[in-house]
Chains A and B, each alone.
Chain A
C-alpha cells in the first residue's frame, strides 16, 4: 500500500523543459499564453534567444504532452514536431519563425 501511494503520488509542481521555435516577444506571449491556458499549468517561461521553454504544472491535472499539443495548436513547432500548416498560418506575419528573412530581421534585437 505504502509503496503504491509513493509511486502514484504525483507532484503539484512538476517541472519540465522543452524547446519551442519562435522569434520574438510576440511569439513569447503566444507560446506562454498557450501553456498557461492549459488547465494545471502554473508557470511558463520561454526564452527568445535559447528557445527554451520552462514549465511548472500540476501533474494531477495535466501533462507535458497536453501542453505541447496546445503550443502546436497555437502554431509553434515543439522540438521536432511541426505545427500544422493551418496553425502556423494563424501566426502573425512578423512572427513567421520558419522564414529565414523573418529570422534575420530579429537577430539584432
Chain B
C-alpha cells in the first residue's frame, strides 16, 4: 500500500521531468548569418539545472512550469535572461559584449545630483533642472542652484554675472565640453552666448578642481556638456516670448548620416526691440538686443574600434544697444545729447575632439582636443570706446591608464595655449600675447567603498606668468552609510584681463587708473590664490522619505590679486594687492522629497569676502553677507499618454550689501553705506501634453521688487557723477513669459 502511494506521488514528478525544452543559440551579427554558439551555458535561473550548447549551438533541457527564467550566457557575450511561459523551441541570438562603457539612462533621476562617491565636490545639473527656469542662455541657468549666485553686472547692459564662493566668474574656470570657453574677451558677456537649449548638463565643481584643464581655476570649475547629434532629438523647436519684449527661437536638427556619422545643426536667434523705461529715469530698463548664434556639430562614433570624435563649428553675432530712451545711435553717437551704448560682438569658433578607448583594454584611452576662437567686440559707452580682438588657440592631449588594477587610475598629458589680445581703450592701445606649454599628471585612488583620493600636479611654462607648479588634491571619506566627507586644496594662477572683465567701468564717468608698473600684464602682476575646502554630505530618511544635507566651508586666500578699487567715486584703479585678500564661504543646503513628485531645496550662505584696499580693509562691494534660498518643485505623475504638469518656485533673499564709497560726491549723488535687503520670487508652470509637445508660462520677480534708482547721475549722464555700477536688485520689476517646446525623437 505504502509503495503505491509512493508511486502515486512520484509519478507526476517523473511525468513532469520528462518534459523538456530545446532550442538553438546563435551569435548576433550585422549580416544576420546563422553562426552557432558552441559551448554556451543555458540554465534555469536559481536552479542547478543547466546544460551547454553542442557543436550546432543546440541544447535540450528539462522543463517544468515552475521554471520561468532561462539564462543564457557565454564568455565575451552579454548574458540574457529570457522568460519562458510555455514549452516551445527557442531560438536566441546572443549579443557580443560591447567594450565601450555604455551610457545607462536611469528612469527616475533627480534634476541635480550630488555624488557620494567622487573625491571632488561636484554637482551635476541635468537638463531637467535647466528647464525649471525658462533659461534662455547659460547665465540664467543657475537661478535654481544655490551654489552659484547670479546678479546684474551693471544697470544698462542687462549682463548677468555669476559668482561662486563669493568670487566673480573670472576666478571660475568655465569650460564647454572641457575646453576653456568663457575667458578673455568673452568673460563679461560669454555666458549669454551659450543658448540654454544647447546645454545637455552642467557639472559644477567647488574648490580647486582638476589640473587637467589648466591652471586658471581658483574658486571652482563649471563645465557645460552640449547636446550631441547622436543622442539629441531629431527635431527640437523652442519658442519663447517675454513681456519685456524678448523673443527667442531655438531649432535643433539632428541627423544620422550613417551608423557611424551623425550631424546636428543648432540655430538660435533672439530679439528684443521694444523700449521700456518703467522707472522713468530716462534710461532703458533692459537693453535692445539681437543675436544670431549657429552651431554645427559632426559626431563620429565607432564602437568596435573605440573611437569617438566631434567637430564643432560656431558663429555668433550679437548686437546690444543700451542707454537713454531717446538715444539714436546713427544720430547721437559721439555727441552729448543723449547717453547711449552699443556692443557688437562677432565670434567664430572651431573645436575638434578625438577620443580613443582601446576596445580590448577599456582603461587605456587617449583624448585630444583642439580649439580655435576668434572674438571681436566693438563697443562704446557714452563717450568711452572699448574694442577688443582676442584670438585663442587651445590644445590638450590626455592619456588615461591604470597602475596594477583599476583602483589606481592615472591621467597624464600635455597642453598648449596661445592668446593674443588687442584692445583699444579710449585712445590707448593695449596689446599682449600669452603662450603656455604645460604637462600634467593626476593620480586617483578609489578603494571602491570608503575612501578615494585625486592628486594632481601640473607644471607650466608661460611667457608672462613664468614657470610654475600647480598642485591640486581632493579626498573623500565615507565612514558610514550615505555620508561623504570631502577636503580639497589647490593653487590657481592667472593673468587678469582688467578691461574685458570689468567692462561695467566704461558705463561710468570714472577715470581709469593703472597704479602699478613693472608687471608683465599691462604693468600688473599675475593673480595667485590658494583654495582650501571641506564639505560634509549626509543622506538620511526623514519620515520615511529621502533627504540630504550638505555643509560646505571654503576659503580662498590670494597671494596676489589685481585689486579693482571703486572706493573713489571719480575713478577706478587697478593695483597689485598689498596685504590680504580672502573669500570665506559657508553654505548649508537641505534637500528633501516629502512625497512623490515634490522636491524641496533650501540653502543658507554666509560670505566673508574682504580685500586690503589702499583705503583699508573692506568687504568687497555688492557682495551680500547672508543669502537664503528656497526652491520647491512639483510634478504630477506621468500619464500613459505622456502628459504631465510641472510646477516650480524659487525664492531668494539677499542680505545687505556694501556700496563702494560715494562719500566725496556732492550730497545728491551720495549713497548709503549698505543696500537694503532684496527678496525675489520666480515661478514656472509647464504643461507637458506628450513626449513631443509642451508649453510653459512663468513669472520672474513676481512680487515686483525694484531697485528705485539703479543709475547714479541720470540728470547729467556726461557729468562727473554718472555711474551705472551700483546695482543690487532687479531693475525691470516683474516679468512674465510663455513658450513652447516641440520635439521629434
A positions within 8 Å CB-CB of B: 13, 15-19, 26, 29-30, 32-33, 36, 41-45, 49-52, 54, 56, 79-80, 108-109
Nearest CB to that of A19 among chain B residues? B79
- Which one of B23-31, B183-191, B399-407 contacts A? B399-407
A38 to B94 CA separation, bound complex (whole angstroms):
29
A24 to B318 CA separation, bound complex (whole angstroms):
49
B78 touches A50 (CB 8 A): yes
Given A16-B75, A17-B76: A42 and B404 within 8 A (CB)? yes
Nearest 10 pairs of A and B residues by beta carbon: A29-B448, A43-B406, A33-B448, A29-B449, A36-B405, A42-B405, A19-B79, A52-B79, A16-B75, A13-B361
Q: How far is the CB of A11 from chain B (nearest CB, A)?
A: 9
For A17, list chain B residues within 8 Å (CB). 73, 75-79, 97
Given A13-B361, A17-B77, A19-B71: A44 and B41 within 8 A (CB)? no
For A16, list chain B residues within 8 Å (CB). 75
Partner of B73 from the list A29, A56, A79, A109 (CB cut-off 8 Å) is A79
| Interface bits B345-376 vs A (CB < 8 Å: 1, else 0) | 00000000000000011110000000000000
For B50, list chain A residues within 8 Å (CB). 80
Nearest CB to that of A44 among chain B residues? B406
Nearest CB to that of A51 among chain B residues? B79
Q: How far is the CB of B155 from chain A (nearest CB, A)?
A: 48
A65 to B296 CA separation, bound complex (whole angstroms):
51
A19 touches B73 (CB 8 A): yes
Residue total for B at the interface (Cβ-Cβ under 8 A): 29
B positions within 8 Å CB-CB of A: 41, 43, 47-48, 50, 71, 73, 75-79, 97, 101, 104, 106, 108, 360-363, 402, 404-407, 447-449
- Seed contacts A17-B79, A45-B101; 16 additional CB < 8 Å A-B pairs: A13-B360, A13-B361, A15-B75, A17-B75, A32-B448, A33-B449, A36-B407, A42-B405, A43-B406, A44-B406, A45-B362, A49-B104, A51-B79, A56-B362, A79-B41, A79-B43
A80 touches B47 (CB 8 A): yes
A13 to B405 CA separation, bound complex (whole angstroms):
11
A42 touches B363 (CB 8 A): yes
A17 to B99 CA separation, bound complex (whole angstroms):
11
Show 19 residue pairs from A and B whose CB-CB distance is below 8 angstroms, ordered by the A residue: A13-B361, A16-B75, A17-B77, A17-B78, A17-B97, A19-B71, A19-B79, A26-B449, A32-B448, A36-B405, A42-B363, A42-B405, A43-B402, A43-B406, A45-B362, A52-B79, A56-B361, A80-B47, A80-B48
Q: How far is the CB of A57 from chain B (nearest CB, A)?
A: 9
For B448, list chain A residues within 8 Å (CB). 29, 32-33, 36
Nearest CB to that of A15 among chain B residues? B76
Nearest CB to that of A43 among chain B residues? B406
A51 to B360 CA separation, bound complex (whole angstroms):
21
A108 to B41 CA separation, bound complex (whole angstroms):
30
Nearest CB to that of A11 among chain B residues? B360
Q: How far is the CB of A70 from chain B (nearest CB, A)?
A: 13
Q: How far is the CB of B597 from chain A (nearest CB, A)?
A: 14
For B77, list chain A residues within 8 Å (CB). 17
For B407, list chain A residues within 8 Å (CB). 36
Partner of A108 from the list B108, B404, B406 (CB cut-off 8 Å) is B108
